[in-house]
Structure formats: structure tokens, C-alpha cells
Structure 1
């Protein structure tokens, strides 16, 4: 497996954050009224829990399969999963629904599994 595959999720998340930033900046320049701004992103506890759990499950299963279970990699995978959640929430400007969070959990789990397999 190519070594770039595990970094696809964080790279995609960075692209989504950039797209959301450009969209917001363009809207500000045009004077388009922005939706209600809050101090924090509307992540939701369930979405955060599902995303972190998916990252941890993928990490543990990948670590057991590759005999490579490290706490630092568990933390990195959880952070990358949260980055994807924040990017989608910012892009959509709303709290993700249950089906969307479950759909996000699949690539987060697979990415965490692959990171554990590549990082030896």
C-alpha cells in the first residue's frame, strides 16, 4: 500500500477547511449577509463521540493487526478524525445529522486502521 493513503483524510479535511474559508471571505467581500455566527462550531456531543470512537476503534484494530499499538498514534488518529468533523461542520455551517456522522465514521476508522499499519 502506498504510504500517502493514510494522510488522505487529513489532506481532504484541510482542503474542505480552505474551501470554507475562501467561501466565507468571498461572501464578506461581496457584502452577503452571513448566517448567524457563534463563538464555537456547532459540533454536537454525539458527533464528537462517534468520530473519536471510530478513530479509536480503527487504531486499536489496526494496532492489533500490525502488532503496533502506540498511544501517540491513537491520539494522532483521534485528532485527524476531529479535523474531518470540524471541516465538514464548518463547510456545511450546521451540526451534522446522525447519518452524516455515521458516514464520516467509516473513512475515519479506515484511515486510523491504515495509519497503524503504515507507522511501524
Structure 2
């Protein structure tokens, strides 16, 4: 029974994401860090990376998908698997530390901003 409940929530999440993308006339998303184009699939995992919502529009991140969650305007972003796993070197401009996104679950969506303290401070280095 628990699996059915989780499956139902997963289906709602999938529909929410696909509806937001459809409303923005998008069938791809871009990585918020390296800008790589990520195709969106119909079933989980939806992207080759992870998705997250932010209540704030990050000016330094060029690509977002506006959407509404519980009546609030949110912005849907993605981070590709290469940035999450450290293939691309993401460095904090302020403290010079390397960002580690490897603990994030691939193919899902976080309902909070996984870069909340960092977007103005991070940049992509090859």
C-alpha cells in the first residue's frame, strides 16, 4: 500500500513538472550551472540530473520555468548529472570551495532551492 501512495505522489509530481514545461512551451531544460541542454522525458527520471524549485528568480541563471505551487509563484531549475557529480568544477567565488552536489538524488525534483545560499557566489569552471 505504501508503494501505491508513493507512486501516486510520483505521478502528481510528474504531471506538475510536465504541465509547467508545457505552459512555458518547453520540452528541454538547461542546467542552471553549465547551461547544458537537458531533454525532458515522459517518465522518471525526467532529466539526466535533478530538478528543484526556488521561490526566487535567480537573475544570474538564464533558464527557468515559472510555475505555481500551492498558489505561490516558483521557478523550476535543473542541474545536470555532470555538475552534480563534480565532472564540471563548480567553485564558490567567495570562499573558493568546490560545490559537491553528489548527494542529491538523480531524476527527482526538490521543492526547495538546492543552491539557495550559493547562486551569486558560484561559477562554472572547466
Query: Do the two structures share a fold, i.e. TM-score over 0.5?
Result: no
Q: Which has the higher strand share?
A: 2
Q: Which has the higher helix share?
A: 1
Higher relative contact order (CA 8 A, sep 6+): 1
Greater radius of gyration (CA): 1
TM-score by length of 2: 0.26
